[in-house]
A and B are shown apart, each in its own frame.
Chain A
Amino acid sequence: MCRVLSYLGQPILLDDLLYKPNNSLITQSYDPKFMTHMLNLAGFGFIAWDYDSFQSEIPFLYRTHSLPFYDENLKNIASKVRANCIIAHTRGVEYSEKNIVSNQNVHPFKFSNTSIAFAHNGTLVGFEEMRLDILCHIKKEYQKLIRGTTDTESMYALFLSQLDTAKDTISIDDVFAALIETLKILDKLRKKHHISISSPLNFFISNSEFIVATRFVFDYGRYPSSTYSSPHMGYQSMWYTYGEQYGLYNDRYEMKTSDKMKSIIISSEPLTEDSTTWIELPEYSFIGATLVNEQLVIRSMDILV
C-alpha cells in the first residue's frame, strides 16, 4: 500500500511536507510512525503548482523509481521549491519480482491533455481480469496516453472519461459526480468478473484549484478465505488538518491556528507522531477543498453502499 499527501493553501516549502516533520512523507517510506507493517520502496513522485511561478498553470513534476531518502536531487529541489498545491506519493507494492518498478508506474499521474493529476493508495483487486473491460470505458484520447501497467493509471483515465472536459472550470461537485460514475463502472465490472474481495480506493485528485480525496473500499471486510490474515485488513486510513499555515510552531510541525482557514493537508496519515490536531476522514466518504477569496471551503459527501 502507498502513502500519499495532498496540500492546498498558502505557499509552502516542499521540505516542510516531504522531509521536516517527524513523520514526513519521505520518513514514512522507511520509518513510519503509523501503518508500520510496510515500507514504500517502489518509487516516489510529486506534482506541485506555484501560483507565482513562470507559466503557473504548468506544474513542477518529479518522478523517480529510486528510493527518495537517498535522492540528493529531490532534497535540493524540496529545499528550494515553494508551492500552493501539491500531491506527493511514495509507492508501496508487494515485495515480488512480478511487480514492475519503473518511472511509468510512479504516481501522481498527469496526462498531457489535461490539467488534472491523480494518485492512489490501495489496490483494485482483479485488475488484470478487468483491464480490457476498463479500457472499453476509457475515451480514446486517454487510452493512448496510458504508458504504465498500474491499476491506478487506468482508473485515472476512466475517471477523466467521466468528466465533462468541455467546461471551462471543473468544480468539486463535478469531480464528485465523475468519481461516482467511475465507482459504478468499476462495480459493474467487478460483478461481471465475480470479484467480491476488499479493494481500497483512496484517490487524491487535483488541478491546482482544488484537491479532492476519497476514502472508499469496495467490499470492505470480504477476503479470499475465512482464515485470510494480513496487516492490510484495516480500513485504509486518511487524515486531514487545516488552518492558516502549516509550519514549525512551538517546536512542533502543525497548522497555525487562527480564525483564517487558508491551508489544508489531506494525507494517508498524519505528518507528525502527535496527531492531536489531525482528524480522520470518515470511511466511505469524499472530501474536497478549494480556495475562495483565499479562504478554504471544505465540502464532503457520504457514500452509502
Chain B
Amino acid sequence: MNTLLFINFLKSTDAFKYLDIKAIGAIIDHGQLINCSDGDVILTQGKFGDGLYILVEGKMAVTIRALGKEIVTLATLSSGQFFGEVNLLQNTPCTATVKSLGKSTYFLLKKSSFDMFYVGFPEIRYQISQALIENVIQRQRIMRKEINSLSKMVLRKKVDLHLYTIRSPKIKLTLTTSEKIERFAYLETIPFFNLFNSLEFHQFIKQATVVEFTNKFTLIKQNLLNQSCYFILSGAVTVGVLSKQGYLKVAVLGPNKLICSTSLLDQQNELFVYKTAGPAILLEITVDKLEHIKREHKLLWYKIHDTMTQYLVSLQNKLNTQIIRMASENY
C-alpha cells in the first residue's frame, strides 16, 4: 500500500478519526506494519498486549474464555477495525484472544510510543484516547441494556443496614485557593497525580470545591448530560445502574479516585448512577470549570481526560461480572 493510500486508510479508521494528515504521519513514524500467518495469536486473554492494533488486511477472530463457558467467538474483525484498546488505556491484561484467520497484516502503535506522546504530541495522544473511549462507552451502553434485560428475570435480595442517619445532604466548604492548596498538598505525592506537575496540580485544586455529602446522596444521575466530576477524599461512592429491580450496584470506589460521567466524554446521556455509601468528602469540579480547564489549560485537560478514560475503562470488567452473575446465579 503506498504511503498516501495508507495515510488515508488510517485516517478512515475509528481509532484515528480525530487526527489530521500530519498527525497520521507522526503515528506512522512511530508504529510498524506486521504480517501474520494463519493461526498466529496476536493477543492472549489474561496477558498484556503491546499497544493499539489496527487490522489493515485480512481477518482476525476475537475469542474469550469466560467463567462457566467454553471458548466463545465474540467477533470477526475486518480491515479498519482496532483492538487492544483496553490494555492500552488502562494497562491491564487483555480481555480477549485475537488470532489471525488466514494471512493478515496489522499496524501496531506500541504502548511505549503512545505514552511518549505525552511529551512530544500530547494533542495526538488525547485525540486517540478520545476516539477509543467513545468506542468503549458505546460497548458499555450495550452491556447496560443487557443488564436491564437480565434484571427482569432476576430478583436479587437486598438488605439495608441503615448504618448512617441522613443529615444535611450537602455542605460546601468555603476555602480560598491557598487554603485548599495547603490543605491538600499531601495529594500531590499520591500516584493519581503522578503525571501532574505542581502548576497543574494547583490549577486542579483551584478549580475544585470541597463538599461534604451525607449517605446515599446521588452525585451523578443516569440519563442526564453535563454533570460534575468528583475526586474522592474520604468515604466511598457506589456506581450502579437503574434497572427493573431498582438500583443495581456495579462498583464501589474509595479515596483517591476520580469519578466522572460518561456524558462528559461522549456527549450522550449518562450511563450510570453514582451515590455516596456513607458520609463522604469530595472535590467537586463542575462542568463550567472543566470547560475552563479545556480552554485555558490544555495540557492539564489532557491529563484529567487520561484519568477519566482509565476510570471508565475499569468499569468494563465490573459490567461483565454483573452480566455473568445474573446469567448464572439463583436468587
Chain A residues engaging chain B, CB cutoff 8 angstroms = 176, 180, 183-184, 187, 218-223, 226-227, 229, 233-235, 241-243, 255, 257, 261, 273-280, 282-284, 297-305
The distance in angstroms between the C-alpha atoms of A94 and B302, with both chains bound, is: 40
Chain B residues engaging chain A, CB cutoff 8 angstroms = 45-47, 64-70, 93, 95, 156-161, 163-164, 183, 186, 190, 215, 232-236, 238, 249-252, 254-256, 277-280, 317-318, 320-322, 324-325, 328-331
The distance in angstroms between the C-alpha atoms of A183 and B159, with both chains bound, is: 12
Residues of A within 8 A of B67 (CB): 241-243, 255, 277-279
CB distance A223 to B255 under 8 Å? yes
CB distance A284 to B321 under 8 Å? no
Instruction: Tell me whether A221 and B232 are in contact in the complex, defined as CB-CB below 8 angstroms, given that A234-B254, A283-B251 are known contacts.
Output: yes
Total A-B pairs in contact (CB under 8 Å)? Answer: 129
A292 to chain B: closest residue by CB: B330
**7 nearest A-B residue pairs (beta carbon):** A283-B252, A274-B46, A221-B236, A304-B160, A221-B254, A221-B235, A227-B186
CB distance A300 to B329 under 8 Å? yes
The distance in angstroms between the C-alpha atoms of A187 and B95, with both chains bound, is: 39
Q: With A241-B67, A299-B329 given, can you name 15 additional A-B contacts, CB distance below 8 Å?
A: A180-B159, A220-B254, A221-B278, A221-B280, A222-B234, A233-B254, A234-B254, A276-B93, A277-B67, A280-B317, A280-B321, A282-B251, A298-B329, A303-B159, A304-B158
B190 to chain A: closest residue by CB: A229
Instruction: Tell me whether A300 and B158 are in contact in the complex, defined as CB-CB below 8 angstroms, given that A220-B277, A235-B254 are known contacts.
Output: no
Partner of B278 from A183, A184, A219, A223 at Cβ < 8 Å: A219
B98 CB to closest chain A CB (Å) equals 14
B275 to chain A: closest residue by CB: A304
Most buried by A among B64, B232, B252: B252
CB distance B157 to A301 under 8 Å? yes
Instruction: Tell me whether A279 and B158 are in contact in the complex, defined as CB-CB below 8 angstroms, given that A220-B236, A220-B254, A305-B277 are known contacts.
Output: no
The distance in angstroms between the C-alpha atoms of A218 and B215, with both chains bound, is: 13
CB distance A222 to B158 under 8 Å? no
The distance in angstroms between the C-alpha atoms of A300 and B331, with both chains bound, is: 7
Residues of A within 8 A of B331 (CB): 299-300
CB distance A222 to B46 under 8 Å? no
B232 CB to closest chain A CB (Å) equals 7
Instruction: Tell me whether A301 and B278 are in contact in the complex, defined as CB-CB below 8 angstroms, given that A187-B163, A274-B46 are known contacts.
Output: no
Residues of B within 8 A of A283 (CB): 238, 249, 251-252
Most buried by A among B46, B95, B190, B322: B46
CB distance B156 to A233 under 8 Å? no
Residues of B within 8 A of A220 (CB): 235-236, 252, 254, 277-278
The 9 listed contacts between A and B (C-beta, < 8 Å) are: A220-B236, A221-B278, A276-B95, A283-B238, A283-B249, A284-B238, A297-B330, A298-B330, A305-B161
A272 to chain B: closest residue by CB: B46
Residues of B within 8 A of A187 (CB): 161, 163
A74 CB to closest chain B CB (Å) equals 30
CB distance A284 to B186 under 8 Å? no
Residues of A within 8 A of B215 (CB): 305
CB distance B158 to A276 under 8 Å? no
CB distance B161 to A299 under 8 Å? no
Partner of A301 from B68, B159, B236 at Cβ < 8 Å: B159
CB distance A226 to B325 under 8 Å? no
CB distance B252 to A235 under 8 Å? yes
B329 to chain A: closest residue by CB: A298
Residues of B within 8 A of A305 (CB): 160-161, 163-164, 215, 277-278
CB distance B70 to A257 under 8 Å? yes
CB distance A304 to B161 under 8 Å? yes
Residues of B within 8 A of A255 (CB): 67
Partner of B68 from A242, A276, A284, A303 at Cβ < 8 Å: A242
Residues of B within 8 A of A221 (CB): 232, 234-236, 254-255, 278, 280
Residues of A within 8 A of B164 (CB): 305
The distance in angstroms between the C-alpha atoms of A280 and B64, with both chains bound, is: 17
CB distance B161 to A183 under 8 Å? yes
B135 CB to closest chain A CB (Å) equals 21
Most buried by B among A219, A233, A299: A219
The distance in angstroms between the C-alpha atoms of A305 and B70, with both chains bound, is: 37
Partner of B157 from A276, A279, A297, A302 at Cβ < 8 Å: A302
The distance in angstroms between the C-alpha atoms of A282 and B318, with both chains bound, is: 8
Most buried by B among A183, A221, A274: A221
B185 to chain A: closest residue by CB: A227
CB distance A304 to B252 under 8 Å? no
B251 CB to closest chain A CB (Å) equals 7
The distance in angstroms between the C-alpha atoms of A283 and B250, with both chains bound, is: 9
Partner of A279 from B183, B236, B255, B321 at Cβ < 8 Å: B321
CB distance B249 to A261 under 8 Å? no
The distance in angstroms between the C-alpha atoms of A255 and B68, with both chains bound, is: 8
The distance in angstroms between the C-alpha atoms of A302 and B65, with both chains bound, is: 27
The distance in angstroms between the C-alpha atoms of A295 and B69, with both chains bound, is: 16
A275 to chain B: closest residue by CB: B46
Residues of A within 8 A of B325 (CB): 279, 282, 300
The distance in angstroms between the C-alpha atoms of A155 and B306, with both chains bound, is: 43
Partner of A226 from B45, B233, B251 at Cβ < 8 Å: B233
Residues of A within 8 A of B95 (CB): 276
A285 to chain B: closest residue by CB: B249
The distance in angstroms between the C-alpha atoms of A298 and B324, with both chains bound, is: 13
The distance in angstroms between the C-alpha atoms of A302 and B240, with both chains bound, is: 12
A8 CB to closest chain B CB (Å) equals 15
